Structure 1
Amino acid sequence: MSAPRTTVMMPAWNSHATLRDSVESVLAQTVPDLELIVVDNASSPPIREVLDDVRDPRLRLVRLRLNAGTAGGRNAALYRAGAPLVSQLDADDQWEPDYLESILPCFGDPAVGLAYSNTHIIGHPTGHDDYIGDPSVHPMHDFPKIAEQNPIPCPTATIRAEAARAVGGYALTQWMAEDYLMYLRLARAGWRFAYVHRQLARYRWPSATSGLSHRQRPHELWELLMYARFVARHPLTPGPRRQVRTRVLSELQRLRDAR
């Protein structure tokens, strides 16, 4: 088996119904030089049962004793990765067969630390099926623009492993928006991003059965905390400060209205 060109990080918590399709979408890539690390976040029953009959040496399974969240699951794979790149894919999303074939050439430019693409959305409440409607503003890696909202579909991001480790990996105290914080840190570190305007993944819109991020209110608060953490370390970077100010004022108004 050739040396892997990327390590796919797949955290899984009670994802028995969707995990198999996600794993198969990785193992079916037209670029076969990869390793896939599935991190079982203390699922009950263990996630191994879904993968017992998969006989592929590229697949590794790591089981955590406690649920470390998405960030902890990704870090468990990040710090075990044997490839120079790491790719994000959650256990309820899937790649198109030529995802890696389309994304990996972006890293021929040594200044590129992250590459991503558009994605097809499954199950959006309004039927919307395209994550990125206007490709003219991508790749997005400059402040303050990147701080306005998360511009990168999570299942399409591939990152230089050394860059992800250098910025501290995924924030364990960030239960949501940990991927967005990673992108902001990479941009702040000076890495450029590359964008491929094709729907190279299938992103399952969050629901009550697929994870925490289906709840809009907690997600808003976690994003506020994420911006605040970033500002605490990089107070002069334009963009995040405005987000903190705007969102804090919005929270104060919400409290006034609730009286």
Structure 2
Amino acid sequence: MPVITVAAVIPLFNGAAFIREALESVFAQSEPPNEIIVVDDGSTDNGAAVVEELAKTHPVVLLRKANGGQSSARNLAIQNCQSSHIALLDQDDAWYPEHLAILKRPFERASPTDRLALVYGNLDHVDVTGQMVAHSCLDIFSTKHPRTTLEQCIGQDMFILPGASLIDRKVILEAGRFDEQLSGYEDDDLFLRIFRRGYRSTYIDQPVTRWRIHSSSTSYSMKMAVSRMIYYRKLKGMFPNEPRLHTHWLRDLIAPRFFRSTIQDFIGGSRLGDVPRMERTWADIQEIASELPRRPRKRIRRVAPIINLTYRGRFANIARLLLRYAASRRK
């Protein structure tokens, strides 16, 4: 049985409200990690002071760096740890006590020929106060786990949450670590590169993490919108259409995936009256639409003049309806 050592890696940026709960969930593990590394990514609140206080009584290493984003913070910790495996945790999430014990088992049973690189589990969704929203929330999405095809990896979001995963460190280094240009989709990007190298993953259909979603989450930030388009363009370059092979990665999988998510972002901004967000996402929608299959591409071209006239003002609801029409599957 291989010996599995684990480094718990937590990026910290202005997370004073949550970091104590996150770290206490690490301390409470039935099988504790071998290392606990928190990377303060240029915080301006007292989150780092909370970590320093806890480090007086627990084996926590606090690294500090100028603000560069979650990817760079994770990379710094991965580069400076000694363990064989990396357990990621976001500052506003928390592990259940058996988290590491459950995720380690498949690695302990695996042989080198299995090429197992990633084990991940389900999650419970909680709100900003930690109250339950949904048990086993990955069950809500009609997606197959674990990912076994390229189509599953690029045609929809991976839904492999870093905070519910345990990853072979040497495979992360081989795959090139997290892309520091990305402040969203960086996990999908890394897991895709791991998959493309022929490594395998195992899914545990049991909640191992409490996943907190709130208005300050990265998912709702402008950084996420910028990162989404960086990742879209990256995939566009990696997987162009190949008509001679009757394969259209970009047209049939990548563009529809990002078209749907960008429209949802536009609608969210419209409901909040967030004009800069709407302007950004409308420009992104038009860029992505040029790569869509013929019917939705024509629908966007048809409604674009009206959307241009309505989305900034009190008739934004018209723009929302037109975009829903453009994204529909009707013929």
TM-score between both structures, scaled by the size of structure 1: 0.86
Whether 1:60 and 2:110 are equivalent positions in the alignment is no
Q: 1:44 to 1:220 in 2, by over 3 A?
A: closer
- Which residue of the partner structure matches residue 189 of structure 1? 197
2:117 corresponds to which of 113, 116, 133: 113
- Which residue of the partner structure matches residue 171 of structure 2? 163
Whether 1:73 and 2:123 are equivalent positions in the alignment is no
Contact 2:8 2:33 (8 Å CA) reproduced: no
Contact 2:161 2:187 (8 Å CA) reproduced: no
Q: 1:57 to 1:123 in 2, by over 3 A?
A: closer
1:212 positional shift: 2.8
Alpha-carbon distance in structure 1 between the residues aligned to 2:88 and 2:304: 37
- Which residue of the partner structure matches residue 180 of structure 2? 172
Higher relative contact order (CA 8 A, sep 6+): 1
Alpha-carbon distance in structure 2 between the residues aligned to 1:115 and 1:255: 44
- Which residue of the partner structure matches residue 91 of structure 1? 91
1:188 positional shift: 1.1
Give identity over the alignment, percent: 22
- Which residue of the partner structure matches residue 13 of structure 1? 13
- Which residue of the partner structure matches residue 245 of structure 1? 255
Alpha-carbon distance in structure 1 between the residues aligned to 2:74 and 2:27: 19
Alpha-carbon distance in structure 1 between the residues aligned to 2:17 and 2:148: 35
How many residues align structurally?
Answer: 253
Contact 2:72 2:180 (8 Å CA) reproduced: yes
Contact 2:16 2:50 (8 Å CA) reproduced: yes
- Which residue of the partner structure matches residue 223 of structure 1? 228
SS in 2 for 1:106: helix
Q: Which digits, 9 at most, give the CA deviation of each residue in 1:104-126, with x for residues without a partner? A: 011132311011000100129x9
Which runs of 5 or more residues in structure 1 are unaligned?
Answer: none
SS in 2 for 1:53: helix
Contact 1:106 1:115 (8 Å CA) reproduced: yes
More deviation, 137-146/249-258: 249-258
SS in 2 for 1:176: coil
Alpha-carbon distance in structure 2 between the residues aligned to 1:156 and 1:224: 25
Structure of greater Rg: 2
Amino acid in structure 1 at the alignment position of 2:126: I
1:154 corresponds to which of 159, 162, 166: 162
1:218 positional shift: 5.7
Describe how 1:136-155 pairs up with structure 2 within 5 A.
137-147=144-154, 148-155=156-163
Contact 1:170 1:178 (8 Å CA) reproduced: yes
Please report the RMSD computed on the Cα atoms of aligned residues, expressed in angstroms.
Answer: 2.9
Q: 1:178 to 1:121 in 2, by over 3 A?
A: same
Alpha-carbon distance in structure 1 between the residues aligned to 2:208 and 2:241: 35
Contact 1:224 1:244 (8 Å CA) reproduced: no
1:240 positional shift: 5.6
Greater helix content? 2
Alpha-carbon distance in structure 1 between the residues aligned to 2:5 and 2:177: 19
SS in 1 for 2:53: coil
Amino acid in structure 2 at the alignment position of 1:214: Y
Q: Which digits, 9 at most, give the CA deviation of each residue in 1:204-230, with x for residues without a partner? A: 01423xx33224x76355334213213
1:78 positional shift: 1.0
Alpha-carbon distance in structure 2 between the residues aligned to 1:231 and 1:35: 38
Alpha-carbon distance in structure 2 between the residues aligned to 1:226 and 1:130: 27
Describe how 1:189-208 pairs up with structure 2 within 5 A.
189-208=197-216
Which runs of 5 or more residues in structure 2 are unaligned?
Answer: 264-284, 287-299, 310-331
Amino acid in structure 1 at the alignment position of 2:44: S
Contact 2:145 2:203 (8 Å CA) reproduced: yes
